[in-house]
Amino acid sequence: MITARDWAGKRYAVLGLARSGAATVRALLAAGAGVVAWDSDEARRAAILSGAGRGASEAGGGGSPPGDALVDGPLHHPADGPPPRAGEDLLVAEFGDLGGYDALVVSPGVPLNTHVLAEEAWVAGVPIVGDIELFAQARVGLPAHKVVGITGTNGKSTTTALVHHLLETAGVPTLMGGNIGLPILAQAPLPNGGVYVLELSSYQIDLTETLDCDVAVLLNVTPDHLDRYDGFDAYAASKARLFAMQSPTREAVIAIGDAPSAAIARSLSARGEHLTKIAPGVCLDQSRWPALQGPHNAQNALAAIAVAKALGLDEAAIDRGLASFAGLPHRMERVATIGGVAYVNDSKATNPDSTAPALAAYPQIHWILGGKAKGDDLDACAPHFGNVVRAYTIGEAGARFAAVLGGKVPVEEAGTLDVAIARAARNAVAGDVVLLSPACASFDQYRDYEERGAAFRAAVEALR
């Protein structure tokens, strides 16, 4: 795992014990820090006790010494790296006074604008950070390396995976982390010459202060997550902070297809040759890249190519990587072709802006959409309604989106995903595409977009 010497002897409060939070606890303990951790989920509290370091649990609040330990033996696994320093314990308890902590480490899912602990930390002058900031602090002790940070409202997972694949194909040691794959602190450090490729959400950037990326990438900025920000401008400013943390001679790659991204690029004009701008509508021959279809993937590919060149990859290596890239699950993933009808899982498209490119990629679509809406309209999708043969709405937004689409495309309220797939399969003919691209979050009917995509895949397999 990745740790830093500077954490030894310090005291951290860790809020949220999902994957990144659990990895953070293990890394801090391994470095010799004292940790008080909490999660509202009892199962996660129990899991961290059984796998992260010696410890005890206290159901009540406060940072006082723990009561009876819930386990007797050491809770460290050798595969996790060095054990906690002798004498340092893990306390799982609700936090008391935050004034005695060196930092409050929160998971990206914790809403800083409404959570009471965030306000308490600010009042106490305690830094609020995330695991990406801890990684930034640990960099000084790692073998010589570079870091690529990729953000944007849409496309960042595909672009991150593509950059990682290009490097891997070229034989460069590389790890992928951040908002994708394994938590970065849980991974073994790269050898000399390695490249860490990080997908960074705005939430993660908000919790980061010192990440000086060798290459920073912005793909786009469109309305999203506005419940966490004081308006759209504040959300865009969060994305811009990725570049504010960079040294001015580091490389910036920005797609300028929207006004906020273009404004951020203009603000960096003094960087000169260290700024690469990607204009919209650039024509590319994507026929040799089966997993990179559609105009949005043209932009993703251009950004990845710019990153690869900045890191010194030659064109032959880049071409090989683009051709062999397999894509990511739940992102325009072709799961089957049955009777000449292609079934495409684009469950990761959780807002209209991310659905629009999928609608642009196919000429004859049976479109399954709906879920927990992030807005009241489908305006971003409207230019591609001509590609929709029929729409099938599901979930909480089903009735609303059926009304929005009424008179524009044939539409029916299916209610649930299995019903929508059955109806689409009955109506589709050879050459058509049945596309799950919901333009909505999944939380009304599913745990997350991955579970929704898996349900789509299973229902399609049942059609065979």
> Which CATH number do you get for residue 316?
3.40.1190.10
Distance, in Å, from the CA atom of 381 to the CA atom of 284, rounded to the nearest integer, reads 22
Residue 47 lies in a domain: yes
Do 337 and 320 fall within a single domain? no
Q: Give the angle subtended at the CA of 406 by the CAs of 422 and 358, to the nearest 5°.
A: 60
Residue 289 lies in a domain: yes
Q: In this predicted model, what pLDDT tens digit does every residue of 28-58 receive, in sequence order?
A: 999 999 999 999 899 999 888 875 444 444 4
How long a stretch of residues is the chain?
464
Q: Is-contact 248 242, C-beta < 8 A?
A: no
pLDDT beyond 60 at 75: no
Q: In the 8-state DSSP scheme, what is residue 225?
A: -
Q: Is-contact 432 364, C-beta < 8 A?
A: yes
Distance, in Å, from the CA atom of 437 to the CA atom of 434, rounded to the nearest integer, reads 10
Sign, CA dihedral 285-287-290-294, equals positive
Q: What are phi and psi of 350, to 5 degrees?
A: -105, 10
Distance, in Å, from the CA atom of 364 to the CA atom of 355, rounded to the nearest integer, reads 15
Do 165 and 122 fall within a single domain? no
Residue 303 lies in a domain: yes
pLDDT beyond 50 at 70: no
Q: In this predicted model, what pLDDT tens digit does every residue of 377-426 receive, in sequence order?
A: 999 999 999 999 999 999 999 999 999 999 999 999 999 999 999 999 99
Do 320 and 290 fall within a single domain? yes
Kindly indicate the confidence band of residue 368, based on its pLDDT and cuts at 50, 70 and 90: very high
Residue 136 lies in a domain: no
Do 320 and 337 fall within a single domain? no
Catalytic residues: 156, 179, 225
Among 129, 162, 185, the domain-final residue is 129
Do 111 and 47 fall within a single domain? yes
Buried/exposed code over 406-431 (b: 16+ C-beta within 10 A; e: otherwise): eeeeebbbbbebebbbbbbbebbeee
* CATH number, domain with residue 355: 3.90.190.20
Among 324, 359, 375, the domain-final residue is 324
Residue 134 lies in a domain: no
- Taking residues 352-374, report their average pLDDT: 94
Amino acid identity, residue 50?
S
Closest CA to 167 of 139, 142, 196: 196
Do 220 and 159 fall within a single domain? yes
**Strand runs labelled E in 339-443:** 341-345, 365-370, 388-394, 411-415, 433-436
Residue 252 lies in a domain: yes
Do 292 and 439 fall within a single domain? no
Residue 135 lies in a domain: no
Do 187 and 313 fall within a single domain? yes
Do 123 and 209 fall within a single domain? no
Among 275, 302, 324, the domain-final residue is 324
* CATH number, domain with residue 51: 3.40.50.720
Residue 307 lies in a domain: yes
pTM of the model: 0.80
Range of the domain at 153: 142-324
Q: In this predicted model, what pLDDT tens digit does every residue of 323-351 receive, in sequence order?
A: 999 889 999 898 999 999 999 999 999 99
Total domain count for the chain?
A: 3
Quick one: pLDDT at residue 420?
A: 98
Do 101 and 239 fall within a single domain? no
Do 392 and 435 fall within a single domain? yes
Do 344 and 283 fall within a single domain? no
- Six-digit token pair at 105? 């480490």
